[in-house]
Amino acid sequence: MKLLSIFLAIFVSTIVVISGQNPRVTVTEGNLVGKTVQFSENQFINVTKNVDMFLGVPFASPPTRFAPPEPMTPWEGDRNATEFSPACQQVPQPLFYPVTSEDCLYLNVYTPSLKPSGIPVMVWIHGGGFSTGTVMDYEYYGVPLVAVGDVIVVTINYRLAIFAQFSTEDEESPGNYGMLDQVAALEWVYNNIEAFGGDKNRITIFGESAGSASVSFHLVSKLSRQFFNQAIYQSGTVFSPWAFKDDPVAELEKAQELGREIGCEDTVSSSALVSCLRNADAVELSTAADKVYESQYPVTLDGFFLDDSPTNVYKMGDFANVPILIGFNKDEGTLIPFASFPAYVGSPTPPPINRTYFEGVVKQILTNYGKDDEIVYDAVLQEYIDWTMADDPESDYFQSWVNFGTDSDFACPSDFVMRRHVEAGGTVYKYYMTHAPSKSILAYGDQFPSSPWLGAGHAEDLTFVWGQPFIDELYHIHGHNLTDEENALSVKFMQFWTNFAKSGDPSKSSVGGEAGVGEDSWPLYTIPELKHKELSLDLGEGRAVLARQCRFWNEYIPDLEAFAKTIDEDEQEWRESYDDWKDEMTDWQKAFEDYQQLPTCN
């Protein structure tokens, strides 16, 4: 039976290279020669379609380390665009990314064959915590999306980790190079997509996790806005606490510590430090940086890509209020326990978490995010400890940890963005993925078996958005063993996403077309209705999901922090007055002692 199911999976979904067909386009820098594949699926999608692919297309020159991207030099003759380019340099992960390079500023273009014209474009920005990942493999293979939606799909690489974010907090190395790479890629697509049959005035940017936060940053940065018209956020925004940090003193200290770790003689002079680190071995540098930066590489305020904080930009209403589709998954917070307890990978049950461990985790995470006021910590514990079982020392706090991570990192930063866009008159569609896949996207063969306790966890939406059940090349990873209902759900995901790119409404396949009904309907997110589409096997609708929790994070906690700051300022003023009083008292005491030494009349 198992062999039969495998045979059927391979039979109904095939992607075959068509020999002798080499599509050609002319872009700004020269001619590109790609390849054509035939995608055929006759059970869930019922489509046979040719797709042209142009892989490993340079959108910038090989970058100089710790410098902004530069335009690509034109080439002569035809350039082969039939193979993926390397992943960007990152901490070595031979199992996932065996080939990495600093020369990595390339993109892939997937387009319907037969020379379309004026069709919508979707530009994908991958996730990975700004430190890992690539689009140069089959995880983000655009063929199923193109076949289902008749859109053009572009996937882009960008610099990662220390190569993206190293900053000396001055003009020598201001940082945000990965974001500038993304801007360069968006500009290249805008200037060249018509050669592939795309409409440069109908570009939707979309991404997941750090890629979703990147999408959000492009709605804030003035450098990016002219290069797209719509956006899709999947689990992350500029307000996710891991996405942005404005602490120039800490950044400079880490830069200098990295220099010492590498063995640079001069870590005080920015120019000397940058020069030294530019000559360091890439693997040695990335490994040392991961130790110093603790694998955290948030976007910073550089005065160029970002000239103000996202909070101030949104407060002033100075963001690109384009139509957005935005959402998150029910169990996003299982990601950190998954990474923290490798012994439980593949286990049918999650790691047991006691109250002491949970409280320590909350304290550490809040400190990492700059929320280290004791009053904030106490409030978070009050919110997330289950007080009905708090007196039992055997109580398990795993779900409290999951809820804390889901709400603070993903759900409520998304809620904040949705509300601001609606208040500014924008168009917003919200999703909430509750389906827990029968096999997790984080599973990887025998090395990382599936963990059912991940639920509808972080990144699980990717399997469905990218039609991964229909990509033969992923068979060795995901096994093509999702259920028939899940395969059908993947088709719905792809239709919703490409519909939004085509019409600005995930329920309509064209501008002015009829809205979907039943499971194909999708409510507009408005205030106070707060409706969302539930992405599950039932494809229903809901409202006000996690509204109380997001009121806590988006309104109560900021008010509490402002109050704590006022207390701190009052206390500091009191301490300064007290110190002045003590100095005066010391002077008075000395004068009094001197007086006592004077001769007196008997």
Over its C-alpha atoms, the chain yields an Rg (Å, rounded) of 27
Residue 456: partners with Cβ closer than 8 Å, 6 or more residues away: 329, 330, 331, 433, 434, 435, 436, 437
Q: How far is CA 374 from CA 1, 592, 594, in A?
A: 58, 43, 46
Q: Grade residue 314 by pLDDT with cuts at 50, 70 and 90.
A: very high
pLDDT of residue 583: 64
Question: Tens digit of pLDDT for each residue in 197-255?
Answer: 999 999 999 999 999 999 999 999 999 999 999 999 999 999 999 999 999 999 999 99
Q: How far is CA 323 from CA 175, 429, 495, 578, in A?
A: 29, 8, 17, 55
Phi, psi of 419 (to 5 degrees): -65, -40
Q: Grade residue 8 by pLDDT with cuts at 50, 70 and 90.
A: very low
Degrees, nearest 5: CA angle 452-454-458: 140
Residue 167: partners with Cβ closer than 8 Å, 6 or more residues away: 173, 174, 175, 176, 251, 252, 255, 300, 302
Closest CA to 165 of 287, 303, 298: 298
pLDDT of residue 255: 98
Residue 400: partners with Cβ closer than 8 Å, 6 or more residues away: 353, 358, 384, 385, 386
- Across 433-443, average pLDDT: 93
Domains: count for the chain = 2
Please say which residue of 395, 428, 456 terminates a domain.
395
Whether residue 456 lies inside any domain: the answer is: no
Written as one letter, the residue type at 522 is: W
d(CA 264, CA 427): 51
Examine the pLDDT at 5 and tell me if it is beyond 50.
no
pLDDT of residue 380: 97
For residue 14 the two structure tokens come to 């095939």
Whether residue 170 lies inside any domain: the answer is: no
Whether residue 172 lies inside any domain: the answer is: no
- Across 425-449, average pLDDT: 90
pLDDT, averaged across the chain: 92
Please say which residue of 341, 373, 395 terminates a domain.
395
Q: Which residue has 């120019």 as its token pair?
A: 271
For residue 565 the two structure tokens come to 């700051």
Closest CA to 108 of 154, 50, 51: 154
Examine the pLDDT at 155 and tell me if it is beyond 90.
yes
Examine the pLDDT at 57 and tell me if it is beyond 50.
yes
Secondary structure of residue 324 in the 3-state scheme = strand
What does the chain come to in residues?
602
Q: Grade residue 160 by pLDDT with cuts at 50, 70 and 90.
A: very high
Examine the pLDDT at 488 and tell me if it is beyond 50.
yes
pLDDT of residue 6: 30
DSSP annotation of 447 reads: T
DSSP annotation of 105 reads: -
Secondary structure of residue 168 in the 3-state scheme = coil
DSSP annotation of 37 reads: E
DSSP annotation of 60 reads: S
User: 147: part of which helix (H) or strand (E)?
Assistant: helix 143-149
HEC string for 180-233? HHHHHHHHHHHHHHHHHCEEEEEEEEEEECHHHHHHHHHHHCCCCHHHCCEEEE
Torsion of CA 162, 163, 165, 168, to 10 degrees: 90
Whether residue 421 lies inside any domain: the answer is: no
d(CA 582, CA 510): 76
Provide the domain limits for residue 558: 546-601
Q: Which residue has 């697509």 as its token pair?
A: 189
Q: Grade residue 183 by pLDDT with cuts at 50, 70 and 90.
A: very high
Catalytic residue among 209, 212, 286, 408: 209
Examine the pLDDT at 447 and tell me if it is beyond 60.
yes
Examine the pLDDT at 10 and tell me if it is beyond 60.
no
For the whole model, what pTM was predicted? 0.91
d(CA 254, CA 250): 6
Examine the pLDDT at 477 and tell me if it is beyond 80.
no
d(CA 557, CA 562): 9
- Across 116-142, average pLDDT: 96
Catalytic residue among 208, 251, 332, 460: 332
Catalytic residue flag (residue 209):
yes
Question: Tens digit of pLDDT for each residue in 503-526?
Answer: 999 999 998 889 989 899 999 999
Q: Grade residue 601 by pLDDT with cuts at 50, 70 and 90.
A: low
Whether residue 213 lies inside any domain: the answer is: no
Torsion of CA 146, 129, 303, 320, to 10 degrees: 40
Work out the number of other CB atoms within 10 angstroms of the CB of residue 184: 23
Q: What one-character-per-residue DSSP string does 411-436 give?
A: IHHHHHHHHHHHHTT--EEEEEE---
Whether residue 31 lies inside any domain: the answer is: no
pLDDT of residue 409: 98
Catalytic residue among 458, 478, 480, 532: 458
Query: For the chain, what percent of residues have pLDDT higher than 70?
Result: 90
Whether residue 550 lies inside any domain: the answer is: yes
pLDDT of residue 602: 56
- Across 530-545, average pLDDT: 98
pLDDT of residue 392: 87
DSSP annotation of 308 reads: S
Written as one letter, the residue type at 57 is: V
pLDDT of residue 45: 93
**Residues 442, 95: contact at Cβ < 8 Å?**
no
DSSP annotation of 444 reads: B
Q: Number of C-alpha atoms within 13 angstroms, CB side, residue 483?
A: 8
pLDDT of residue 88: 98
**Residues 537, 435: contact at Cβ < 8 Å?**
yes
Whether residue 241 lies inside any domain: the answer is: no
Q: What one-character-per-residue DSSP string does 491-549 give?
A: HHHHHHHHHHHHHSSTT-SSTT-PPP-GGG--PPP-TTT-EEEEESSS--EEE-TTHHH
Q: Grade residue 328 by pLDDT with cuts at 50, 70 and 90.
A: very high
Please say which residue of 373, 395, 417 terminates a domain.
395
**Residues 536, 434: contact at Cβ < 8 Å?**
yes
Secondary structure of residue 124 in the 3-state scheme = strand
Examine the pLDDT at 7 and tell me if it is beyond 50.
no
